[in-house]
Amino acid sequence: MLEGARERRVRTGGVELCVAELGEPGRPTVVLVHGYPDSKEVWSEVAARLAGRFRFHVVLYDVRGHGRSTAPEPLRGGFTLEKLTDDFLAVADAVSPDRPVHLVGHDWGSVQSWEFVTVARARGRVASFTSMSGPSLDHFGHWINERVSKPSPRRIGQLFGQGARSWYVYLLHTPALPELAWRGPLGRRWPGVLRRLERIPDGDYPTSSLPSDAANGAWLYRDNVRERLRRPRADARTTVPVQLITPSGDAYLSERLYDELERWAPRLTRRTLPAKHWLPRTRPDQVSTWIADFVTSVESAREGRAGTAEASRSETASPYAQRFGGQLVLITGAGSGIGRATALAFAGAGARVIAVDRDAKSATRTAEAALSAGATQAWAETVDVSDEPAMEKLAARIHGELGVVDVLVNNAGIGLSGPFLDTTSDDWRRVLDVNLWGVIHGCRLFGRQMAERGQGGHIVNVASAAAFQPVRALPAYGTSKAAVLMLSECLRAELAGQDIGVTAICPGVVNTGITTTATFVGVGPEEEKRRRKRAARAYGLRNYPPKKVARAVLRAVVRNEAVVAVTPEAKAARALSRFAPGVLRALARIEPRL
């Protein structure tokens, strides 16, 4: 699974560790430490991305007793954190003798890595640490003691909640039972169980050494957990820059475990990802991007450079940085107006932004502005959302090069005004092709990728207050937006079971450029030009800024809201449509002044 890797054996403490390397040795070294009951193969996709796209020197090793590393004899006492620290230092000295390494740990790989960054003898050997789904046992011990010594209803609830999540720890302390289970039916069924629980793709979980790895690894718990939780070290503090990636759907570890982590790791960057426990397998694209950003920012600081967008984001402290940092967000119609403002809002939260627009120059300007606003990465794509083959090619290329989109914002739209009887079939096709079919193409193509990945996501469809507010001058435009609203409601119901949220955003009068490009049917060119200017002036006087709509978009994704009316007039129309529709119908009969 680790194609192109160079292997070596490192002897330490009576065991022989299997170490694999990818990438150029002269580049910054990233050491990946696996958890229980995995081997180094669990990192294969993350390692390939870090060594390929990001050009790091990547090192993986099988923890003693796992994979192709030998086990200590006897097993009891052979997996203490002190001996695991010896192993790490031996690997680090072998692969990067002259420079500190960037450490990444998942599950028990993170638990032992916390030891590496807090003990004196490893000082200076770690440049940064990225922790996923594995707390320090010392921090955990203090967390428990504080809740026992100073109880409150909230703290007691947290204590019992984590106790319930830790059910497997109690089982692993029982004599002989875990070994019998892993070497028996559990070992055979575990990959299938894990695929169903974590939504890992079929055939994408290494199994060759699983029974013996899991049986040996039970001593990780027996040799360390009770002793450290009972007597945690008082000096378990680190000055190493730490990045904490917390999956919000972790079934084994509560997010509350990390509430006071800044006390132990003052140079802390937090990330939250809507995923389950096995992040290296289920979200390798997101994980590798966050690791690369963090390592690059630390390297920049070490070398005295100004740093990257990651460093600047820690200064600006967007309220949504933990939620969207590093996520892949695609916005259509991003060249101007609401689309551009939304792209910049996600950029300010540290997202990777794909700005899509049919105008290449506008898309490029938005992508450049997104990088300045704090985006991890930004790309400009030129496509007409009504062109189905072009959208299919775009979706396939993005999936192949960047991964699955985490948030899709179908914003592209055009305006059309005038009486129904003056609206031609071509007029109807044009507005429906962009306003409705463009949304359908985006939902179908990118929504399917989200569903197949199995790790959730969010779709935002920008409708309008015209979706529920009839206006005699907007029959075609209102119809297209009402269809978008209903599509969003239906799709939300269909995808809810797959953790994919769908939101319809319904702005009212927002100061964008849509009025200057809108079509006014039934009038000549000069009158159409006059009406555009008049509409633009009215929208300008209203002066509701697109950035307020953008903030509503981010808030709606975080809260997973179904329908969001943004402006005051949109909120009023939404309320009237539900409780006094007759009032809206009466208002719709009023002929607008043009």
On whether both 360 and 487 belong to a single domain, the answer is: yes
Residues 70 and 134 both lie in one domain: yes
Has residue 1 been placed in a domain? Answer: no
Q: Residue 316 falls within a domain, yes or no?
A: no
> What residues contact residue 85 under an 8 Å CB cut-off, 6+ apart?
112, 115, 116, 119, 121, 122
CATH label of the domain that carries residue 123 = 3.40.50.1820
Say whether 273 sits in a helix, a strand or coil.
strand
Question: How confident is the model at residue 315, as a pLDDT?
Answer: 39
Q: Is there a single domain that holds both residue 357 and residue 291?
A: no
- The alpha carbon dihedral of 564, 513, 530, 420 has a sign of negative
Tokens representing residue 248 in the block: 């919000």
How much is the pLDDT for 318?
64
User: Is position 313 within any domain?
Assistant: no
| Token pair 């502005």: residue | 369
The tokens 């169903």 sit on which residue?
Answer: 196
Interstrand relation of 457-462 and 29-33 (parallel, antiparallel or unpaired): unpaired
Kind and range of the H or E element at 15? strand 15-22
pLDDT at site 182: 85
Domain-located, residue 328: yes
**Helix, strand and coil percent figures for the chain, each rounded to 5:** 55, 15, 30
In a domain, 253, yes or no: yes
Instruction: State how far the alpha carbon of 568 is from the alpha carbons of 54, 203, 413, 465, 549, in Å.
Output: 46, 52, 21, 10, 12
Residues 456 and 528 in one domain: yes
Comparing C-alpha atoms, which of 229, 426, 458 is closest to residue 324?
458
What gap in Å lies between CA 202 and CA 204, rounded to an integer? Answer: 5
232 and 367 share one domain: no
Q: How far is CA 238 from CA 199, 263, 514, in A?
A: 35, 10, 53
**Distance between CA 582 and CA 163 in Å, rounded?**
56
Q: Is 304 a member of any domain?
A: no
Whether 142 and 267 map to the same domain: the answer is: yes
Task: Pull the structure tokens for residue 593.
Answer: 């002044």
Q: Which amino acid is at 378?
A: A
Q: Are residues 257 and 356 in the same domain?
A: no
> How far does Cα 521 stand from its chain's mean position?
44
For the chain, give the number of residues.
Answer: 594
Per DSSP, the residues of 187-220 read: HHHHHHHHHHHHTPPTT-S--TTHHHHHHHHHHH
- In this prediction the pTM is 0.69
| Cα dihedral sign, 34-38-44-46 | negative
| 522 CB burial (10 A radius; 0-12, 13-18, 19+) | middle
Which region, left, alpha or beta, applies to residue 4 given φ > 0 means left and ψ of -120 to 50 means alpha?
Answer: left
Same-domain check for residues 354 and 229: no
Give 271's strand partners: 245
277 and 385 share a domain?
Answer: no
Same domain, 369 and 503: yes
418 with 536, same domain: the answer is yes
Taken in order 290, 296, 300, 306, the sign of the CA dihedral is negative
- Regions of the chain where pLDDT drops below 70: 1, 201-208, 304-318, 513, 515-516, 538, 540, 592-594
Structural domain contains residue 305: no
Does residue 28 have a cis bond before it (omega within 30 degrees)?
no
pLDDT tens, position by position, 402-456: 889 999 999 999 989 889 999 999 999 999 999 999 999 999 999 999 998 887 8
Supply the DSSP symbol for 435.
I
User: Token match 């306003």: residue?
Assistant: 435
Euclidean distance between CA atoms 445 and 437, whole angstroms:
12
Residue 314 lies in a domain: no
Shared domain check, 332 and 266: no
Which of these is catalytic: 36, 221, 258, 477? 477
252: annotated active-site residue? no
Tell me whether the omega of the peptide bond preceding residue 419 falls within 30 degrees of 0, making it cis. Answer: no
How many domains does the chain fold into?
2
Q: Is 523 helix (H, G, I), strand (E, B) or coil?
A: coil
Could you tell me which residues are beta bridge partners of residue 104?
A: 32, 130
pLDDT at residue 592, as a whole number: 67
Instruction: Classify residue 19 by burial, with Cβ atoms within 10 Å: 0-12, 13-18, 19+.
Output: buried
pLDDT at 8: 95
What domain range includes position 234? 6-296
Specify the CATH number for the domain of residue 429.
Answer: 3.40.50.720
Residue 321 contacts by C-beta under 8 Å, 6 or more apart in sequence?
313, 349, 350
